[in-house]
Amino acid sequence: MKNKIEILVSPEISLKEIGFKDISKLQKLMFEIYPPVYAHLWPDDGEMYLKKIYAEENIKKELKEQNSNYYFILNKTIEVGILRVLTNEPIEKLKKEYAIKLQRIYLNPSIQRKGFGEKIIRWIETTFCKKEHSYLWLEAMDSQEKAIQFYSKMGFKVAGSFKLESDLMFERFRGMVRMIKPL
């Protein structure tokens, strides 16, 4: 496991690597910040999804992945979100040489629309997208219009769509878009 470091993104934003000792803190944070924004997608308010994705075994598996970069997002010294970036992650059905996937970015609703997302994406671009002809990509729910507008403003373009295979989620919310930004 890498040494945990703290990375300054801006005067008010820093990132702290997530390690095995942080699993319970990560679980607690996600159970606080996910439901206010996404509970409406699920009959159980997202509890099964959270228990599956943030199960200790799954987090350990994700932390061990070579191309995984997993961070707490801090506002000053307070954890207000998470970020997971995957390096060398191929864009499905497209033959791109070097692609970085913004796998997860979740922010506490209290700090949304305050420039955190923009600064974090700019940091990802300058930190991970250093090779010529690199791409940054993500997948977003097509029902999350504000998120899609934000990513479009940041230069991402919709490059495809698909439906999530999740029996737990309300069917009307399973639509996803794949968005790509060449750098």
CATH number of the domain encompassing residue 129: 3.40.630.30
User: Is 136 part of a structural domain of the chain?
Assistant: yes
Q: What is the extent of the structural domain holding 24?
A: 6-182
- The whole-number pLDDT of residue 99 equals 86
User: Is 100 within the bounds of a domain?
Assistant: yes
Kindly report the backbone phi and psi dihedral angles of residue 43, in degrees, each rounded to the nearest multiple of 5, phi listed first. Answer: -60, -30
Residue 147 lies in a domain: yes
The number of folded domains in the chain is 1
Q: How far is CA 100 from CA 33, 77, 108, in A?
A: 25, 27, 24
Task: Note whether residue 30 is domain-resident.
Answer: yes
Residue 56 placed within a domain? yes
What is the value of pTM for the model shown? Answer: 0.91
At residue 52's C-alpha, the angle toward residues 117 and 32, to 5°, is 45
Assess if residue 82 is contained within a domain. yes
pLDDT tens-digit profile, the chain (183 residues): 454 678 999 999 999 999 999 999 999 999 999 999 999 999 999 999 999 999 999 999 999 999 999 999 999 899 999 999 998 887 866 665 678 999 999 999 988 888 999 999 999 999 887 766 688 999 999 999 999 999 999 999 999 999 998 888 999 999 999 999 988
Q: Is residue 108 assigned to a domain?
A: yes
Q: Let me know if residue 1 belongs to a domain.
A: no
How many helices (DSSP H) and strands (DSSP E) are in the chain?
A: 6, 8
Check if the beta carbon of residue 86 is closer than 8 Å to that of residue 100: yes
